[in-house]
């Protein structure tokens, strides 16, 4: 049985906001980069999958940050796979500072798609071929919550451009999160309070589409719905501050 993989990082100046703390999006980007690095190192990264016209796509993710580290802070990201299913695989993360204090955690669920049809494929073979990569440790947080339908109190439009697109030729996860953060009140998004984010991907959004981002804002929480077509949700997400 495998053990958790550990990766070292430092909060760089381009990853912080005006409070000098790492942004939610920058920490989320590190988490997803670790997923790719670890999968590559274990032999089932996108480079291997692309040879058969397959790729990993993020289906759902939940992240919790008790605090956000300040500029130049060193920290460790641990990651491990807790299960493979026929449709989804669960990859987990914890973030700890140099004193060993855990300040963040994440649970992500991944699907595999055929790059020609863009349809999900059975990933049972990954679990069979790489069963030794599973770690006998539970997820560090509640798995991603289902987001109910959203009744927006405000909306904005965003045209998908080159800088929004990732290696799967659809909108990068962190670009969605940045769009959402840009709609939040400054005092809320810059708050040092613990925060949880749940995000659920329902449809791909591609280059040239005009997205409608709807926000249902509450006192200490916000729900979002991104539509690439009128009335058709592509992404739903929820932020909650404690």
The 10s digit of each residue's pLDDT in 160-213 is: 999 999 988 999 999 999 999 999 999 999 999 999 999 999 999 999 999 999
User: Does the pLDDT at position 222 exceed 70?
Assistant: yes
**How do strand 74-84 and strand 89-97 relate by DSSP bridges?**
antiparallel
pTM for the whole structure: 0.92
* Co-location of 204 and 88 in the same domain: no
Instruction: Tell me which of 126, 144, 162 is where a domain ends.
Output: 144
Please give the pLDDT value at position 241.
98
* Co-location of 50 and 138 in the same domain: yes
* Co-location of 102 and 61 in the same domain: yes
* Co-location of 218 and 238 in the same domain: yes
Q: Looking at the 3D structure of the chain, how many domains does it have?
A: 2
The DSSP code sequence of the chain is ----EEEEEE--GGGB-TTSBB-HHHHHHHHHHHHHHHHHHTT-SHHHHHTTTEEEEEEEEEEEESS-PBTT-EEEEEEEEEEE-SS-EEEEEEEEETTS-EEEEEEEEEEEEETTT--B---HHHHHHTGGGB-S---SSPPPPPPPP---SEEEEEE--GGGB-TTSSB-HHHHHHHHHTTS-HHHHT--S-EEEEEEE-S---TTPEEEEEEEE-SSEEEEEEEEETTEEEEEEEEEE-
* Co-location of 112 and 161 in the same domain: no
Q: Across the chain, what does the average pLDDT equal?
A: 93
Choose among 159, 209, 157, 208: nearest CA to 183: 157
How does pLDDT run across 132-148, given as a tens digit for each residue?
A: 888 999 999 999 999 98
Cβ 204 vs Cβ 160: under 8 Å: no
Instruction: Tell me which of 102, 124, 144 is where a domain ends.
Output: 144
Please give the pLDDT value at position 242.
92
How confident is residue 1, by pLDDT bands cut at 50, 70 and 90?
A: low
Residue 12 is part of which domain span? 1-144
Q: What is the CATH number of the domain that holds 64?
A: 3.10.129.10
* Co-location of 139 and 153 in the same domain: no
* Co-location of 38 and 126 in the same domain: yes
Instruction: Tell me which of 144, 159, 178 is where a domain ends.
Output: 144
* Co-location of 140 and 198 in the same domain: no
* Co-location of 140 and 151 in the same domain: no
User: Does the pLDDT at position 214 exceed 90?
Assistant: yes
**How do strand 210-217 and strand 154-159 relate by DSSP bridges?**
antiparallel
φ, ψ dihedrals at 227, nearest 5°: -120, 130
Please give the pLDDT value at position 145.
95
More confident residue, 46 or 228: 228
* Co-location of 36 and 126 in the same domain: yes
């Amino acid at each position: 049985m495998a053990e958790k993989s550990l990766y070292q990082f430092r909060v760089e100046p381009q990853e912080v906001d005006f409070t000098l703390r790492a942004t939610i999006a920058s920490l989320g980007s590190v988490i997803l980069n670790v997923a790719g690095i670890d999968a590559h190192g274990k032999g089932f990264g996108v480079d291997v999958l692309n040879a058969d016209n397959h790729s990993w796509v993020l289906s759902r993710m939940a992240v919790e940050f008790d605090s956000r580290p300040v500029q130049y802070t060193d920290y460790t990201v641990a990651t491990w796979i807790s299960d493979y299913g026929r449709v989804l695989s669960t990859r987990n993360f914890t973030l700890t500072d140099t004193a060993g204090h855990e300040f963040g955690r994440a649970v992500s669920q991944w699907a595999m798609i055929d790059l020609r049809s863009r349809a999900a494929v059975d990933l049972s073979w990954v679990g069979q071929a790489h069963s030794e990569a599973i770690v006998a440790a539970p997820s560090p947080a509640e798995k991603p919550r289902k987001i109910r339908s959203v009744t927006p109190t405000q909306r904005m439009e965003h045209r998908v451009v080159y800088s929004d697109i990732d290696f799967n030729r659809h909108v990068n996860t962190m670009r969605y999160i940045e769009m959402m953060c840009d709609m939040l009140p400054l005092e809320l998004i810059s708050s040092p309070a613990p925060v949880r984010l749940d995000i659920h991907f329902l449809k791909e959004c591609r280059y040239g589409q005009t997205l409608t981002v709807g926000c249902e804002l509450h006192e200490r929480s916000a729900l979002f719905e991104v539509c690439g077509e009128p009335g058709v949700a592509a992404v739903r997400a929820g932020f909650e501050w404690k």
